[in-house]
Amino acid sequence: MKVLSVVGARPQLVKLAPIAAAFAETDHTHVIVHTGQHYDADLSDVFFSGLGIPDPDVHLGVGSGSHGVQTGAVLAALDPVLELERPDWVLVYGDTNSTLAGAVAAVKQHYRVAHLEAGLRSFNRRMPEEHNRVLTDHAADLLLAPTEEAMRHLAAEGLAGRSVLVGDVMVDVCLRVRDDVRADRHPRPELPEGIDPNAPYLLATLHRAENTDDAARLGALIEALAALPVPVALLAHPRLVARAEHFGLKLRLGALYPGRPLGYAGMIAAVLGSAGVVTDSGGLQKEAYLLGRPCVTLRPETEWVETLDGDWNRLIPDPWTLGAEWPAAATRPAPSTGRGEPYGDGQAARRVVDVLRGS
Ligand code: UD1
């Protein structure tokens, strides 16, 4: 069997790591195509080297652009690659523009498409990720769902017959790296200047278009983080840096200490060292949950609803409306409630390979 993975953005590289490792244990051929949606070393190269992913077989070098330009460029560039490789399956990951382009390019040429992390829904049609995941699910031949909730969404859209619950591959990689970090097999993360790793700090990220692309909203979020009573390590995505600069907003303010994004092991270590997480990232919400740190999600909804159980994660889209409850929420201690295994047992990637072979 030949499987061609299409990846391009940071969270897809994290998901690719356990999939590539699972393929490496088999005789199947796994071809990695990097679209080039993310090209900064901090968002791309460090994940290949840090997670031991083989170098991409093909790099499309597409880069940034408006949604249409970026999606269209990936689509066009994939045509000759698919023609040359003729895979049995095209595997697309998550909900980025690279995901949608990979799915559309493949179905147009009659290659079978499998969607990893299928069935997630925010029901917020203003998010680019929501269009990407809905359209990809409906185009794909095989839907590899991470959770029971995702399976329910797929069934509600008439897609149950093509759906398989495999668990979440992020658990595979998160728990393995957590154990390596605990065993001191990684160097300490480079936290932003001004953050003392031995004193309590909150770990923050902010990159969603809904939060970064409006000057007033971004300014209010920065002020809310800066007003917290503990230092906040802000690992700044290039999109955030670019938008803040464009709007004339300073990221170094009050309790807020901006720094560069971290590689995967650095991120896991930074979560483990933190008192809690404040984020709009889907992956980080889940990592906080898996690693037992309380989280605030700066969005009105989440696709990972299981993290909300037991108050491990709290949705706070507009922190400035909460008054004194905001710092109390952001610095609340870890709940004493248990966390179950809604995201699976850490063997999802092996299951993905088995399901692809058997389908
Ligand atoms: C993309 C995904 C989002 C995912 C995120 C993870 C879409 C629609 N969005 O958002 O779902 O959560 O990746 O990080 O696909 N930039 C750089 N260097 C890079 C890449 C981007 O400086 O290597 C800057 C550019 O200013 C660019 C902006 O970030 O215009 C946005 O990049 P883009 O790839 O469009 O989306 P992300 O915000 O990264």
pLDDT, tens digit, for every residue of 48-57?
A: 999 999 999 9
Residues 16 and 160 in one domain: yes
State whether the beta carbon of 238 lies less than 6 angstroms from ligand 1: yes
Residues 148 and 48 in one domain: yes
State whether the beta carbon of 122 lies less than 6 angstroms from ligand 1: no
Residue of 204, 340, 189 whose CA lies nearest to 281: 204
Residues 12 and 146 in one domain: yes
Residues 155 and 9 in one domain: yes
Residues 145 and 97 in one domain: yes
Position 217 scores a pLDDT of 98
Residues 108 and 141 in one domain: yes
Q: What percent of the chain has pLDDT over 90?
A: 99
Residues 45 and 122 in one domain: yes
Strand partners, 295: 277, 313
| Residue 95 placed within a domain | yes
Residues 61 and 137 in one domain: yes
Residues spanned by the domain of 319: 185-330
| Residue 17 placed within a domain | yes
pLDDT in tens, 23-38: 999 999 999 999 999 9
Q: Give distance in angstroms: CA of 239 to centre of ligand 1.
A: 6
State whether the beta carbon of 299 lies less than 6 angstroms from ligand 1: no
pLDDT in tens, 161-211: 999 999 999 999 999 999 999 999 988 999 999 999 999 999 999 999 999
Q: Alpha-carbon Rg of the chain, whole angstroms?
A: 20
**Phi then psi dihedrals of residue 333, to 5 deg:** -70, 165
pLDDT in tens, 274-302: 999 999 999 999 999 999 999 999 999 99
| Residue 175 placed within a domain | no
Residues 6 or more apart whose CB falls under 8 angstroms from that of 72 comprise: 101
Residues 16 and 163 in one domain: yes
Position 207 scores a pLDDT of 97
Residue 34 a catalytic site member:
no
Q: Give distance in angstroms: CA of 38 to centre of ligand 1.
A: 6
| Residue 180 placed within a domain | no
Residues 162 and 283 in one domain: no
Identified catalytic residue from 186, 207, 237, 246: 207
Mean pLDDT of residues grouped by 10 in the chain (359 residues)? 98 98 98 97 95 97 98 98 98 98 98 98 95 98 98 98 98 96 92 97 97 98 98 98 98 98 96 98 97 98 97 98 97 95 96 97
State whether the beta carbon of 303 lies less than 6 angstroms from ligand 1: no
Position 187 scores a pLDDT of 87
State whether the beta carbon of 43 lies less than 6 angstroms from ligand 1: yes
| Residue 338 placed within a domain | no
Q: How many domains does the structure of the chain reveal?
A: 2
| Residue 290 placed within a domain | yes
Atom number in ligand 1 closest to CA 96: 15
CATH number at residue 349: 3.40.50.2000
Q: Residue of the nearest CA to atom 29 in ligand 1?
A: 239
| Residue 152 placed within a domain | yes
In whole angstroms, give the CA distance from residue 106 to residue 103.
Answer: 5
Residue of 254, 250, 216 whose CA lies nearest to 232: 254
Residues 19 and 71 in one domain: yes
Position 182 scores a pLDDT of 95
Position 84 scores a pLDDT of 98
**Phi then psi dihedrals of residue 295, to 5 deg:** -130, 145
In whole angstroms, give the CA distance from residue 174 to residue 226.
Answer: 29
Sheet holding 276-279, edge to edge: 256-259, 232-235, 202-204, 276-279, 295-297, 313-315
Position 209 scores a pLDDT of 95
| Residue 23 placed within a domain | yes
Residues 62 and 161 in one domain: yes
